[in-house]
């Protein structure tokens, strides 16, 4: 029995030494790693909570990585939108009513300025950040906006803006430049009756609206709204000097905007906007007809030409949501009566995402929380952005210098007068054009534009992302603190425990050494 007791004591001491050595190794490992255990199993009852909190922290980290990318995109959008809004204001300044000054290349000085702005606008709309084109919707593979040359001159067999504008201008002015109106020559027996008729059932050109007159001895037949419409002015006697007649037309497309001119009867014809009372009613009618032709041609080459240019610009640039650009059905364009799809024959100035939608923000979505998606897409052909492109490009493409066709029989003085008259028409055309496109880039509410609307929506998305990121940071900090409490150790306490274990282990080694060195003789 005594020998068995000695063996048992030695076995017990060995187990104690192994246990102390294991505890010391475990405590040392905890001190080095700062964690209670290297496995969830070693966390005891808190292991499920710790596992769940770690999953939440990892999910938040994933969202924060997404937020970092979203912030980069949105900040870049805000910077470019701010500059595009400045460009809108610069465009309005470039469209100066009082700055008609032709340069050697035939462009006005303001057109040269607009061309520089156009290049910058395209560069901004083609901004790319980390493989993502900011203004291409979901498209991230190529520039969403074509280059200036392609937009202006066309590419391959596709027509550019200049060709489209020329077609619309030709279709609206007609072959005789009278805005698709006909004013037949006066012949007996109705040589004292002036007739004006529209040349067909279509939307091009000037449309007759009404006649206002206080001319004595003049019978007026008003337009009736027929398609095509007409009016007539019949002199049954001579008018009195100073009496007036005004004719009103409407402009395409839609024919809601009125334009008019007024002529006064005069005995000399030297006054502005007058017609001469002739020797008889036939001569008076002939004089009035000549003035009407002159004023119709003036309206056609100024307000109508500007309206045609804007119409062409609308069709070329307003393609948001997959809208089809429409071209004049020709040639011949001067007698065209309809529009046709230009989808396959016209340059696509915008080639990014263009599916049917009312909200381009939804083109780009990012999940930044379990139940929160942020939308921050943008398309270069959105209203506001396309308005800037349209105004600049159409203004640059416009031709405000018209060559005068001389027959060769004119005297120098007559040539001078003809050139002066044409310059006056060109200036009026310039003024009408500028006025129209200033209204495109100048919104009804002076303090806000389409670009500001887009910027506001992007800013709301940015604020949402920032608030979400702050919330994630707070929650992650809370979760991490709890995880540290579960997984972490008190290093000061652990150091004391290790020191105690080392002391106990040394003492045990000495005691064990004494016991293990005893023999039977010592025991007896």
Q: Are 72 and 66 in contact (CB under 8 A)?
A: no
Q: Is 233 helix (H, G, I), strand (E, B) or coil?
A: strand
Q: Do strands 274-276 and 257-266 pair parallel, antiparallel, or not at all (unpaired)?
A: parallel
- For the whole model, what pTM was predicted? 0.83
Q: What is the pLDDT at residue 2?
A: 47
Our CA dihedral for 279, 284, 286, 288, rounded to 10 degrees, sits at 150
> Around Cβ 299, how many Cβ atoms within 10 Å?
23
**Rounded distance between C-alpha atoms, residue 377 and residue 361, angstroms:** 4
State which residues of the chain have pLDDT below 70. 1-47, 50, 443-448, 483-484, 486-502, 504-524
Give dist(CA 235, CA 340) in Å, integer: 43
| 57 phi and psi angles, rounded to 5 deg | -65, -45
Return the DSSP state at 249: E
* E strands present in 271-420: 274-276, 326-328, 339-341, 365-369, 372-375
Residue carrying structure tokens 């391959």: 156
Query: For residue 288, what is the DSSP state?
Result: H
| Distance separating alpha carbons of residues 194 and 178, to the nearest angstrom | 15
Of 160, 162, 169, 172, the residue nearest 337 (C-alpha): 172
**Which of 311, 305, 326 has the alpha carbon at shortest distance from 179?**
305
Cα gap 264→247, rounded to integer Å: 12
C-alpha to C-alpha distance for 35 and 40, rounded to whole angstroms: 11
Which residues, 6+ apart, have CB-to-CB distance to 34 below 8 Å? 488, 489, 491
Joined together, the tokens standing for residue 101 give 């000054």
Q: What is the pLDDT of residue 29?
A: 55
Q: In the prediction, which pLDDT does 421 show?
A: 85
User: How do the residues of the chain divide into helix, strand and coil, expressed in percent and rounded to 5?
Assistant: 55, 15, 30
SS3 367: strand
Q: What is the largest CA-CA distance in the chain?
A: 167
97-154 residue pLDDT tens: 888 887 877 788 889 999 999 999 999 999 999 888 999 998 778 999 999 999 999 9
User: How many angstroms separate the Cα of 469 from the Cα of each of 78, 236, 376, 377, 464?
Assistant: 19, 84, 16, 20, 9
Reduce the DSSP state of residue 213 to 3 states and report it: strand
pLDDT score for 299: 96
Distance CA 395, CA 310 (A): 9
């Amino acid at each position: 029995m005594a020998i068995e007791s000695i063996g048992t004591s030695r076995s017990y001491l060995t187990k104690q030494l192994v246990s102390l050595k294991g505890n010391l190794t475990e405590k040392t490992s905890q001190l080095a790693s700062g964690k209670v255990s290297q496995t969830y199993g070693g966390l005891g009852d808190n292991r499920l909570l710790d596992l769940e909190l770690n999953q939440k922290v990892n999910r938040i980290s994933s969202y924060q990585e997404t937020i970092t990318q979203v912030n980069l995109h949105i900040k870049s959008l805000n910077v470019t939108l701010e500059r595009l809004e400045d460009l809108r204001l610069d465009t309005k300044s470039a469209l100066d009513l009082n700055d008609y000054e032709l340069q050697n290349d035939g462009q006005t000085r303001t057109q040269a300025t607009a061309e520089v702005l156009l290049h910058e606008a395209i560069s901004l709309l083609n901004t790319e950040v980390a493989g993502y084109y900011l203004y291409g919707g979901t498209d991230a593979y190529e520039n969403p906006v074509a280059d200036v040359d392609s937009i202006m001159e066309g590419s391959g067999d596709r027509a550019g803006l200049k060709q489209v504008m020329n077609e619309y201008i030709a279709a609206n002015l007609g072959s005789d430049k009278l805005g698709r109106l006909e004013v037949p020559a006066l012949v007996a027996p109705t040589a004292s009756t002036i007739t004006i008729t529209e040349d067909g059932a279509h939307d091009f050109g000037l449309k007759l609206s009404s006649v206002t007159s206080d001319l004595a001895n003049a019978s007026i037949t008003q337009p009736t709204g027929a398609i095509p419409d007409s009016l007539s002015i019949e002199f049954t006697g001579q008018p009195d000097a100073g009496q007036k007649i005004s004719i009103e037309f409407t402009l395409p497309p839609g024919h809601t905007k009125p334009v008019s001119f007024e002529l006064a009867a005069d005995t000399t014809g030297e006054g502005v906007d007058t017609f001469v009372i002739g020797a008889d009613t036939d001569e008076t009618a002939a004089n009035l007809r000549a003035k009407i032709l002159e004023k119709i041609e003036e309206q056609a080459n100024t307000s109508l030409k500007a309206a045609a240019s804007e119409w062409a610009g609308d069709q070329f640039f307003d393609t948001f949501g997959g809208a089809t650009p429409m071209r004049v059905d020709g040639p011949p364009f001067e007698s065209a009566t309809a529009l046709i799809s230009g989808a396959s024959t016209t340059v696509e100035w915008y080639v990014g995402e263009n599916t049917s939608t009312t909200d381009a923000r939804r083109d780009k979505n990012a999940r930044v929380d379990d139940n929160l998606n942020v939308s921050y897409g943008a398309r270069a052909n959105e209203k506001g952005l396309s308005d800037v492109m349209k105004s600049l490009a159409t203004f640059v493409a416009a031709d405000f210098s018209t060559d005068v066709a001389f027959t060769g029989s004119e005297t120098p003085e007559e040539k001078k007068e003809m050139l002066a008259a044409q310059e006056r028409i060109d200036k009026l055309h310039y003024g009408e054009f500028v006025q129209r496109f200033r209204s495109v880039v100048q919104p009804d509410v002076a303090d806000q534009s389409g670009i500001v609307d887009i910027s506001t929506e992007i800013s709301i998305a940015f604020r949402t992302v920032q608030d979400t990121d702050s919330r994630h940071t707070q929650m992650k900090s809370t979760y991490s603190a709890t995880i540290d409490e579960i997984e972490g150790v008190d290093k000061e306490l652990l150091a004391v425990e290790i020191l105690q274990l080392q002391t106990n282990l040394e003492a045990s080694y000495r005691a064990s050494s004494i016991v293990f060195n005893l023999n039977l003789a010592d025991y007896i």
